[in-house]
Structure formats: structure tokens, C-alpha cells
A and B are shown apart, each in its own frame.
Chain A
């Protein structure tokens, strides 16, 4: 019997658990710090690029856990992961010991870290007015509104103008995050389309620095947003937001394609917040000496050994490595599961 400990029951953790649990003589211990699985996914309404329902994916992922050899430990924060034997003992397999916040210890033959990301805290960009003006919301707040099927402005009316701002907390030295969060570009395109579907009268503007339509079907979505849904894209970063007397948000930017400064008032300003390593990710990557400058997990080799850390038996997958879409996290988790199966063979 082999025991694999997986830390974090998000899409990556659950996918890897289900792949590993399908193998013979295997037991998976799946740890989740909060009281429910898939916390970040549960906030979402629709998924790019096919606009499928996030609730459906949650249901499918939950069903994958329905196996006797997956032991799900909810509300269990793993605070320590250490190897208790050297690789030369036990036929090249290291023994691992995990400890949770209440001091309970668990033994495993391999450990997979899937502790994921946390959303950038938009309060840190004070000039954009999040938490100060009710008309300024984040992409996560908007996603919840889309899920409820109701979007209102700060004074409780149907909005007429919605502005999206890309790269909040990403590609920004002032936030300490030089990296691109990867999913926000397409998320804004998706949300702008959703908003226009829900409120056909609303004008939607997306302020961007670059639009990075990296995935299959993304560029087509962008084109459709322009052509079919009339979403207007403006190249320029919003430098500051202020409130007007009637509860709107006044923004300042530059249309860098024209080379002129720009002023505009909007009912809602949606900040496309980026990804940062979650607290769990930061704790474990630092403890296991595999943290990059931001606290994301680094791997042995980004091309061929992208789930392995320098320590045999310790693997990483999903957005604890770098910002990643749900689909990429799922793929990455399956690849990690395969690596672990090979290692324990």
C-alpha cells in the first residue's frame, strides 16, 4: 500500500487525487485548510473559453472524490512537511511526515503540493479606490454578481457604463509583482461579454496594456467581444479613480494608441485582480526551499520536470507554481500524478 498526501483540494488537488486513487494499492490523503473544497472555483459563474457553468465543474470535481481510497481532511491546514528518511533507505523512496495546525501527524510516501493562489488584495492599489468608493469592484466581486444574475451600480440602479481595468496587482513593480497573472485578459473579455449579454444597453470598456490571448479560442472570443458585443478596448492603464457627486467613478488614463489623455466616468470600475501565491503556498515553498522571489514553487526543470522539486518524493502542481488557468491546473495535476506513480513504482 502506497500513501500519497496531497495538500490543497482545489481543481489540481482533486484531479491528481482522482488519477492516483484509480491505481491499485494506493491511498490518497487530501488535505484542505478550509471547510469546503474548490473555494476559488465556487465563486465563479462561467468559465472561459466555452462559457460553461462553473457549478457544473464543481459538481463533476466533487464526484471525483467519491472513492474509498481518497481520505479528505477538511479544515486541516498542513503547516509542516518534512522527509523523515534519506533516499537510500527504503529502496530510494523517502518517507514524509506532515503535520497540521493542531499537531496531528500523517505519514506518506510522496507529497503533492497543490496549495494554489490567492487573489491580489485590491485595497493595496489605493489610487484605484477599492474599498473607498462602492462603484469600484474586483473581477471576483463581478463574477459573484454574474452568478447571482444581478448587476447594480453604487446607488442601486442598472449601470450604463462599465469599465474593466487589466493588470491590477500584475506586471506592477509597485505591487511587487513583475509577472503576468495570465488569466485576467481573457477573464475581462469573458466578463464583458457576459455583462453585455445580461445588460444589452450597457457600454463596456476594457483598459489594457497588452491583450494576451494565449489560449485556444481566446483570440476568437476577443474578436467576438469587439464585433458582436461591441466591447470597446482602450490601450492605457488607469492611473487613478475618484468619485463624482452622483456616485459614479471618474477615471484618468491615456489612450496610448492616439497619444491623448483621457477622462471618463463610469458606473462601475472592475479591477482585474491578479494571482499571488496563497499563504499555504508561501509557507510550504519556503519550508521546502523551493520558493521563487514571490513565493511560488519552483521546479527542477520547466520543460521536462515541471512537477518535481529538488527533493525526491515532493511534487508541485497547479497555480502554486505560477498563475495558471483552471484547465492548465487540471492538466498539470494529471502530469504530476503520472510522475508520482512512476516514482512510487
Chain B
């Protein structure tokens, strides 16, 4: 089935519904990486990111999605990161992005993941 192409694709409709959002993973991440909360979405992290230059990987957007408790497919979206840490160096608000990415991966791939997704 996967190889069948009909000339169009159906994208998954995505909108944020904060009433069904689960804040447990977010709270867990904020406890592990308190500087997570300080982000002001300037985008310096994505601008300097090597992975961003060649792939769709966008750490600023991943941060925003996680903050809005939208975790769908984030573990895959995080894959291009090589953990070079340039994002952490440039962040004007001192967000420890490298640690944030590591902890996001850990929380999202935990077999005992708190939201049991």
C-alpha cells in the first residue's frame, strides 16, 4: 500500500486543542531543564543550526510545539540533531538547548512515557 501513489496525499489535519493537551511531559521537561521556560522565540538557535541548513529540522518550532503540548511525531523530528551545541552557544536567554534536546528524546522515547501514547 505504501508504494501506491495516487498523485495526491492526504495530510493529517493538525490544530492545537489546549483542552485535550496533556501537560505532564511538558512539566517533566521543565523540571529537568528549567531554562526551557525562558525562550522568547527569537530563532537564533535555528539560524545557527547545521541540521537546519540541510533538512526540515527546526528546533525553535519543536520547542514551541512541545511548549504547546503537541508531541506528535516529535521524536522523529528531533532525529537530524547532531548535538553539536551551537544553539546553546547563541541563545540570548541562556536556554540549555542541548540538554533540552537530550531530555526531549529521553522523555518521548521512554517506554514508561507519562502520557502512555
Chain A residues within 8 Å of B, Cβ to Cβ:
211, 222-223, 226-227, 230, 232-235, 255, 257-265
Contacts and interface: CB of A to CB of B under 8 A. Distances in A.
Given A223-B93, A227-B34, A227-B38, A261 B64 contact: no
The interface residues of chain A, by DSSP majority, are classed as strand
B19 A263 contact: yes
Interface in B8-40: 14-19, 30, 34-35, 37-40
A193 B109 CA distance: 34
A223 B38 contact: yes
A260 B34 contact: no
A257 B16 contact: no
A235 B68 CA distance: 11
B37 A255 contact: no
B88 interface: no
Contacts of B14: 260
Nearest to B41: A257
Nearest to A203: B23
Interface in B62-117: 64-65, 67-68, 70, 93
A258 B64 contact: yes
B117 to A, nearest CB: 18
A265 B64 contact: no
Contacts of A222: 40
B61 A258 contact: yes
B57 to A, nearest CB: 15
Given A257-B61, A258-B64, A264-B19, 14 more contacts: A223-B93, A226-B38, A226-B39, A227-B38, A230-B37, A233-B40, A255-B64, A258-B16, A258-B61, A258-B65, A259-B61, A260-B15, A263-B18, A264-B17
Contacts of A257: 41, 60-61, 64
The interface residues of chain B, by DSSP majority, are classed as mixed
B93 A255 contact: no
Nearest to A235: B41
A21 B51 CA distance: 67
Contacts of B19: 263-265
Contacts of A232: 67
A230 B31 CA distance: 11
A111 to B, nearest CB: 45
Leading 5 A-B pairs by shortest Cβ distance = A264-B18, A262-B16, A261-B15, A257-B64, A258-B64
B64 A227 contact: no
A264 B16 CA distance: 8
B41 A261 contact: no
A230 B38 CA distance: 9
B17 A263 contact: yes
Contacts of B30: 230
Nearest to B17: A263
Given A223-B93, A227-B34, A260-B70, A255 B41 contact: no
Contact of A255 (B34, B39, B68): B68
Contacts of B37: 226-227, 230
Interface string B52-63: 000000001100
A263 B38 contact: no
A167 B44 CA distance: 27
B38 A255 contact: no
B65 A263 contact: no
A258 B16 CA distance: 10
B38 A261 contact: no
A203 B17 CA distance: 15
B60 to A, nearest CB: 8
Contacts of A262: 15-18, 68
16 contacts: A211-B40, A222-B40, A223-B38, A226-B37, A230-B30, A233-B40, A255-B16, A255-B64, A255-B68, A258-B65, A260-B68, A262-B15, A263-B15, A264-B17, A264-B18, A265-B18
